[in-house]
Chains A and B, each alone.
Chain A
Amino acid sequence: EAQVTQNPRYLITVTGKKLTVTCSQNMNHEYMSWYRQDPGLGLRQIYYSMNVEVTDKGDVPEGYKVSRKEKRNFPLILESPSPNQTSLYFCASSLLPSLAGGWSYNEQFFGPGTRLTVL
């Protein structure tokens, strides 16, 4: 079954304690990204990756790190979490966007989400 998996689904931690949220996809997608979702703000992109070893900042990258050592995995790292990083996090993957008369995004496949609380 084609899917994006995230772990853990729920996490409660304390300020300053490093954590990693894993993301894995089995669809051989080149494009992967991380979003956070907060009430009234919609989805905001944290980081994205167009391929292995290629990552770039999204709209809200401060306080986060990512890596793309393998095509299927795209972990999100919070080196020193703070309460303002309490949020619902989603990983997504897709084929690369195509340029044909303007950028066109392919279907984004989302993981089930990770609800993070930082105390």
Chain B
Amino acid sequence: TQLLEQSPQFLSIQEGENLTVYCNSSSVFSSLQWYRQEPGEGPVLLVTVVTGGEVKKLKRLTFQFGDARKDSSLHITAAQPGDTGLYLCAGADSNYQLIWGAGTKLIIKP
């Protein structure tokens, strides 16, 4: 079974700080998605990356897919309380299964 490891598992920072969340695997994924989940709700898609080395920006969020398509990162600039949530990465493996990371719980304090 392929694994997607997310780090850190938990992060609590002050509003305005920058942060990076990582999603790593020893396996190659054909595509990778990032979702955000708020308490009491299901995950919501933020971005899908497909090409090795690809960088996508969503306002203050920057997503990068590793050159070898084994890892990805999510960087948030000037974090806001509204960024609080559980961030999940999910990769599509060679057996067309979507493999999920355990998530990074992010708290942004005002």
Q: Which residues of A contact B (CB under 8 A)?
A: 4, 35, 40-45, 58-59, 90, 92, 97, 99, 101-105, 107-108, 110-113
Inter-chain contact B88/A42, CB cutoff 8 Å: yes
Q: Give chain A nearest CB distance to B14 CB in angstroms.
A: 25
* Chain B residues positioned under 8 Å from A43 (CB to CB): 43, 88, 90, 100
Can you list 21 A-B pairs, Cβ within 8 angstroms, ordered by A? A4-B42, A40-B102, A42-B6, A42-B88, A42-B103, A45-B97, A59-B97, A90-B42, A99-B96, A102-B92, A102-B94, A103-B30, A103-B94, A103-B96, A104-B31, A108-B35, A108-B45, A108-B90, A112-B40, A112-B41, A113-B41
Inter-chain contact B42/A101, CB cutoff 8 Å: no
Q: Which residues of B contact A (CB under 8 A)?
A: 1, 6, 9, 30-31, 33, 35, 40-45, 48, 50, 88, 90, 92-94, 96-98, 100-103
Inter-chain contact A105/B31, CB cutoff 8 Å: yes
Q: Besides the contacts A4-B42, A105-B98, A112-B42, what 6 more A-B pairs have beta carbons closer than 8 Å?
A: A40-B9, A59-B1, A102-B31, A103-B92, A104-B30, A110-B43
* Chain B residues positioned under 8 Å from A92 (CB to CB): 42
Q: How far is the CA of A40 from the CA of B10 in the complex (A)?
A: 10
